[in-house]
Amino acid sequence: MTHRSPLASRRAVLAAGGGAATLGLAGCISGGGGLDELTVAHMPIYPDLQWYVMEQEGYLEEIDATITGREFTDGPSIVQALGGGDIDVAMFGIVPAMIAIDRGISAKVTAANIREPMGIMAESSFHPIFESEGATAFETWAAERGRPFRFGTFPQGSVPDVLLRYWLTDVGVDPEATDAVEIVEINGASAVWQAIANDEIDGTSIMEPVPTIAAEEDSSVTMLRTAADVLPGQPAAVTLMSDAVRESPIAGAFLEGHVRATEFIDANPDTTAAHVEAGIGMPADRARKALDSPLSNFVTDPETITEATPVFAEFAAANGQIEDTLSNETIFDHTVYDSL
């Protein structure tokens, strides 16, 4: 399910003689050999916050092209749209970006949106057991309750799922080989929160605003480890551009807006919270608190996530989502950002 919200630049409207700009196929080539239309896929999630700031602060209107935003509910749908040639730029998770590249879609990641945005949350009563026992804490929990410790997070292969499995493996727990841990697939952050509120799960790997909501609602599920503790530089949402866009001046113009949005988020949290409410639907007061979270690390420079990206490439290959482990050279194009 997608929602299309066209945004025409002032220049494009003027070029149309003051009338409404005509939106055509993605990546339409103008007579001058450059792109004059750009379709951007994004998701109504915190890690895509730059899109909503760019849109509401008018940065997109300063790009010499007609920008159309298409809102998607999940990464696989964006990959499908990319494969159909409907999308020029995609703001979504690093794993679906790898899947798109692995499927032969001519595109590369030119920017990060956020780094280290995930947190491992667990029942507060589990915290002291884990700090004392480490990996065997899950067996202790299971023995005491007669059931495994239940983690609920996004489907297998998603960024939250990969971070969870990486952390479990790192502390000495094989989630596929133990009866002490169960990982339940849940679609959407709101559904994860409902599972926490209904005592259906004991922990999760998730991004904002779930940790903030849990804290405000006095949930017994609290932060155990942040992504910075688990995997410094953890990648999450990124900006993927088609080759046609990357080879056009519009790529630099778009990333200039992205940089401005990243800086705006840092410098103007109150206004940013209002943009979150308008764009994503999260109440501004709660969004403001989430912006102070240690998980709200908005960035643009792709170099900030390259060191940890191979971990996700290896997991994606092991899960069969991509055929081979992709190298950073295959995934990233740093030239657009470096040219700013």
Looking at 210, 230, 250, the residue that finishes a domain is: 230
Instruction: Give the pLDDT mean for 78-93.
Output: 95
Residues 211 and 289 in one domain: no
Percent of the chain with pLDDT over 70: 90
* Residues 209, 296 within the same domain: no
Contact by Cβ (8 Å): 65, 22? no
Tens of pLDDT, residue by residue over 121-170, are 999 999 999 999 999 999 999 999 999 999 999 988 889 999 999 999 99
Q: Is the peptide bond before 209 cis (omega within 30 degrees of 0)?
A: yes
Look-up: residue for tokens 């952050």?
A: 189
Q: Are residues 226 and 173 in the same domain?
A: yes
CATH code assigned at 135: 3.40.190.10
pLDDT greater than 70 at residue 190: yes
**Per-residue model confidence as pLDDT tens digits over 268-279:** 999 999 999 999
What is the number of domains present in the chain?
2
Half-sphere exposure of 330 (CA within 13 A, CB side): 17
Q: Distance of CA 248 to CAs 33, 84, 87, 162, 183, Å?
A: 9, 21, 15, 34, 43
Q: Are residues 238 and 322 in the same domain?
A: yes
Length of the chain: 340
Give the domain-ending residue among 213, 230, 247: 230
Same domain, 45 and 15: yes
**Residue-averaged pLDDT of the chain:** 89
Is the distance from CB of 161 to CB of 153 less than 8 angstroms? yes
Confidence of residue 111 (pLDDT cuts 50, 70, 90): very high
| pLDDT for the residue numbered 119 | 97
Where are any strands of DSSP class E within 179-329?
Answer: 181-185, 203-207, 221-226, 237-242
pLDDT of 293 over the 90 cut: yes
pLDDT in tens, 24-63: 335 543 333 468 899 999 999 889 999 999 999 999 999 9
Q: pTM of the prediction?
A: 0.86
Q: Which of 196, 230, 264 is the last residue of a domain?
A: 230
Q: Residues near 218 by Cβ (< 8 Å), separated by ≥ 6?
A: none
Q: Strand pairing partners for 67?
A: 7, 38
Boundaries of domain holding 111: 2-115+234-338
108 and 125 within one domain? no
